[in-house]
Structure 1
Amino acid sequence: MPTFALSSPLELLDELKRKVRALQRLQFQVLEIIGALDQQGAAEALGYKDLVEVFKHTLRWDPRVSRRRIKQAQVVCPSVTPTGSPIGPALPGVAAAMAEGELSEDHVEVLAEAMAGLPAVAEEHVVGYALEHEPRSAKAFCKELAYRLDQDGPEPKEPKPSQVKNSLRRQWRDGRYLLSADLDTETGAKLDALIDPLAKPEPNDARLAPERDGDALCEVVDLALRGAGTRIHGGERVQLTVTVDYDKLRAGLGTALLDNGEHLPMNQVRKIACDSGIIPTLLGSRSQVHDVGRRTRSVNAGLRRVLVARDKGCAFPGCTRPPKHCQAHHIRFWSDGGATTIDNLVLLCRRHHDLVHHSDWQVRMAAGLPVFHPPAFVDPRRRPRTNPIHVA
């Protein structure tokens, strides 16, 4: 039986308050360390782009959590000028209260956002309120305080003419591809001109207008892919890559894999195969060009197909980037004599490609697959890691 089970409700609440205050003091100490790392430029020293990436590997924090805590550290921790002169915290009252365990991270986030639009003298008042109320109430208090200090609001300005921008939202959801677009008049008219002739109802056509428009858009996409002027991407003309086991294709069973990680039912794959250029890829066979040796640093189209079939995206542990966002990296650098062969190449997204070049992350091949060894500060034993998200 837990020790606390014998305590009264009031005793439990007192103990809970003590634990929470201790936790909040510890959270402040965490922010102090984050602030010091930020001031020292630790990310660059370790070969990383920023602290968000460092914390992802060392602390397993989500980027959202890291950004939040870095921002909090910047308002409660002291800093230095470029000349080395010390500067106190941007919000000294908030920092002192959190150091005592009286304010939570949520309080700090609310007060930092509020103080960005309030004079410095208001900090004492907002901290005093936050010491007695939860963050949501403190946010409402800050909003009311800002209104009372400036009831007239900011000086009205002449409205600036808004610049017309085109936007397109794309999202995969449950095996479906959702589109939402906001286009300028000219582009909208061009799209209408493409879709309208293809969306006309046929005799005895039971489709409603949205379905006809959707089918017409699919035809427009097919026409664009077949166009002679299709842009080059990843060493080849833009195309749809479907990876499928040949025996499953013949039997019509199971699913195939698109290069974005989505699975496609076999009946759709067989339909695509009726009007497609099929490139058989057998790892290790002589039917596909795997090796261009030292003749060139660039990866040809055939070799990239093999890389995509093997790695199925960025091979860095935990990365979800698909092949179209990846570059071919020489494990043994080309400048050091590395060959352009399948056993010396790995797919990496731009972010992790930079990381491998500028940090102590190391890549090697094991049993024909890329394996990554983290720096000692991530794992003192530098145990090998792979990326199980892309099943090879």
Structure 2
Amino acid sequence: MDHRYTTSGEEFPSPGELRALIHNTAALSDADLVAAVTAVEALGRVVDAARVRLAGEVDTRSARGADDRLSARYGCRNGVELLERTTRASSRSINARIRLDKHTRPRVSLTGEELPARFPHVGEALRDGALGLDAAHEITTALGKAQDRADPVQWDAAEATTVAYATGTLDEQAGMIPPTFAEVEVHARTWATYLDQDGPEPDAERAARNRGLTLGVIRDGVVPLRGSLLPEVAAGLQRLLDAHLNPAVRFTPTVDPEDRDENTAWSSDEVVDDPRTNAQKRHDVLAVIIQAAAKAIETPTLGGAAPTLVVTVAEDDLHNPTAAARIDGTPVPVSTAHRIARTGAVQKVIHDSTGRIVRLGTPERVFNAHQRRAITARDGGCIIPGCTIPAAWCEIHHVDEHANGGPTHTDNGVLLCWWHHHNLDHSGWDVRMRVGTPVIKAPPWIDRRGIYRPARSTLTRP
């Protein structure tokens, strides 16, 4: 049977009516459309309240200290994972539900005594379907910041008044249009400012509380990075960026590369334009910093080994240029997997169609410390003309690919920065070895002759 639902005196459409409504919204009159929006939103508040309470109950029964944890009995590591699998909601949404439930659920002291919820008025309005999730989150967030510094009586009054205002039940709101979320937001934050008897947090304390860094979910081939850095951290990062992206330094070539013969080494007066934007350059310097840190002796290990990127690829896809490999579960082109595997900080895992691992790459082909010191002494830094990335931040490139039999020898290794290494195949630059020293061919738009000239070496430069 298809029942209609009622709560707090309100009657809601049945599931069948909702399905019919979804397919017939265009046929509604203006008045019926507005009425339907109001009714469905009211039903949504009740459903959201149930989601919050159920998520909180699952989390409580899955707590680490609980006997016979609920999540463990369903093969999940915690309540969040169990909820992710049963609801198909994001972990962000689930954590928000659990957090709101904890704010509005009666608490238990260490002695077993039951204590009132931290936000009892929010909890009551939420359960009655009178308060939506957005308003509930805003009230608990705004007032929660002031709770530890506020007078308890005033704080309780502030919560009760703000909830009443948000639900349109204040006496002075009689006959008035219910407030919007933006108005509730202003009301809650005004109360929070009033309640904070000690005034705003000291700048340093507030800054420490607000610091953070978040990696988002891959979208359009890139992962968004969001965060707030403490001033000293930002200054340190800025110094590292400025060391290689100094906007005050501009080079104007004093000679035409085509005026130099094949025996003349590249020099600083032939610095060429870099096609990257400033934002792209900052990204690439950050990539270099991360790789340098991963190789540092002081870097913590993972399971006793240095941090190593693991790339997985199906055996049938190894030579398919349109196939995909995976880095930490994120799909990338197979060509990208081959390219980053050259750096030595990567381990390639090859599996068959059933998922069985059939080949495991090893880091043995990586240039050892003695070889790196020798190559560093010869090259001094990235060998591409105009690049200022120092040797410590460079990768060693096998000129003759290791996969094609190229040896891991100083006569076959050159220093390249992250960007030039990862883009060598399609940047137009090309590197060869001539009697143990690197020679470089510029892209056609720089030198149409296509000749190879010696790299500028620290062993031969004046």
TM-score (norm 1): 0.49
More relative contact order, 1 or 2 (CA 8 Å, 6+ apart): 1
TM-score (norm 2): 0.43
